[in-house]
Homo-oligomer: A and B are copies of this chain.
Amino acid sequence: MSYARQLLDTYPGNVNADAGVLAATLDALSDCAQACAADADADLSEQNLAEMVRCIRLCLDCTDVCTATLGVVSRQTDYDPAITRPLLEACVATCKSCGDECARHAPRYEHCRVCEQACRRCEQACRELLGVQR
Contact = CB atoms under 8 A, between A and B. Distances in A.
A40 B41 CA distance: 12
Contacts of A63: 71
A132 interface: no
Contacts of A30: 30-31, 33-34
Contacts of A54: 77-78
Contact of A64 (B6, B71, B113, B115): B71
A4 B33 CA distance: 11
A80 to B, nearest CB: 6
**Chain A interface bracket (under 10, 10 to 19, 20 to 34, 35 or more):** 35 or more
Contacts of A111: 7, 10-12
Given A31-B3, A90-B87, A93-B82, A13 B65 contact: no
Contacts of A39: 7
Contacts of A109: 10, 12
A114 B10 contact: yes
A129 interface: no
B46 A49 contact: no
Contacts of A71: 37, 60-61, 63-64
